[in-house]
Structure 1
Amino acid sequence: MPVTLEEAKSRYPEAKTFKFGDNRALCGRLLSLVRLGKKKATCGALRDFKNGTESMPVIGRRDIALDWDGTPALVIETTELSIRRFCDVDTDFALAEGEDETLEGWQAGHRAFFGRNGGWQSDMELVCERFCMIEDFAKPSH
């Protein structure tokens, strides 16, 4: 039986909720990468955090990642946080996002993503977050 958002929030009262990606297919793909242990980082445009569209990650806080339909999917804990320009993202961070095999692939995918979501610039500031998965609500608990 799926965990409800209310149940998830009662387990993690400090948690913020968020969705990976900007569409159902991307959200599902990114959640799968987290579950497989391939995705251990994510980033977002700083402008989205400043305007209140997104909740700023906090090191040590556990947050609830939602499926596209709003069902709790998993819980992550932020382990590292930095703000850097798009053009300064290095291969190590790009590959930790788990979505691409190369920095160039990461750049192309993220240029398209940010282009769809408010605009892309090479010097735009990103909130770069590393995390670990704490709980997967798709797996039965013991």
Structure 2
Amino acid sequence: MGESPKSTRKKMIEAFWKSCGDHIPMEDWNASFSSWSFGDSAELADKLLALVLSGVKTATCGTLFDYEADNEVPPEEGSYHILTDFAGIPHCLIQITSVTLSPFRDVPMDFALAEGEGSYEEWREAHIKFFNRRAEETSNTFDGDTVLVLEHFKVVYAKIN
């Protein structure tokens, strides 16, 4: 019997992390890391990953209620994350350079633009739709007071296809 897809993805992620060794400081070689994809669909995940790989997207955000629903803590400054496509294939390693909390209504324009998804108005419209979907899935309510986790990051290493 062959390996499960989950086991295969885990091995790919671990191998990718090892391949990043030449791109991170030696003291971080044993650092913990997480892996994830953007969005809630293959189309959105691939679009946002492409923005990261092109250097356009240098920030991302999520609702605090999503972290709570998943029993996860928000990332910390300096933490490493492997970005995958929707299928779980690793493409790049990022490092979080800053993390702040903000109600949705107070997200600064420069942050929204750093997400690389268009104008401030386009960012707001897309995120209202996305966060409303997530609120429904997690039995939460999304509004202007919903706290977001705002993350700036830098690409440390990107796999060249």
TM-score by length of 2: 0.78
- Deviation, structure 1 residue 55: 5.0
1:115 aligns with 132
1:4 aligns with 12
- Deviation, structure 1 residue 53: 5.4
Paired-residue identity, %: 35
2:92 aligns with 74
- Deviation, structure 1 residue 73: 1.5
Change (3 A) 1:55 1:31: farther
2:4 aligns with none
- Is 1:129 matched up with 2:112? no
Change (3 A) 1:125 1:53: same
Q: Counterpart of 2:33 in 1: which secondary structure?
A: coil
TM-score by length of 1: 0.88
2:110 aligns with 92
Change (3 A) 1:53 1:19: farther
- Deviation beyond 3 Å, 4+ runs, structure 1: 9-13
Coordinate RMSD, CA, aligned = 1.8
Q: Counterpart of 1:123 in 2: which secondary structure?
A: coil
Q: Counterpart of 1:104 in 2: which secondary structure?
A: helix
Name the CA distance, whole Å, in 1 between partners of 2:143 and 2:126: 13
Larger mean CA deviation between 72-81 and 12-21 belongs to: 12-21
Change (3 A) 1:28 1:53: farther
Task: Report how many aligned residue pairs link the two structures.
Answer: 136
Unaligned runs of 5+ in 1: none
Name the CA distance, whole Å, in 1 between partners of 2:109 and 2:92: 26
Q: Counterpart of 1:42 in 2: which secondary structure?
A: strand
Q: Is the 8 A contact 1:16 1:55 kept in 2?
A: no
Change (3 A) 1:59 1:88: same
Q: Counterpart of 1:114 in 2: which secondary structure?
A: helix
1:52-110: per-residue Cα shift (whole Å, max 9, x none)? Answer: 3555211111111111111111110000100000000011000000011x211111000
Name the CA distance, whole Å, in 2 between partners of 1:53 and 1:73: 25
Name the CA distance, whole Å, in 2 between partners of 1:19 and 1:54: 15
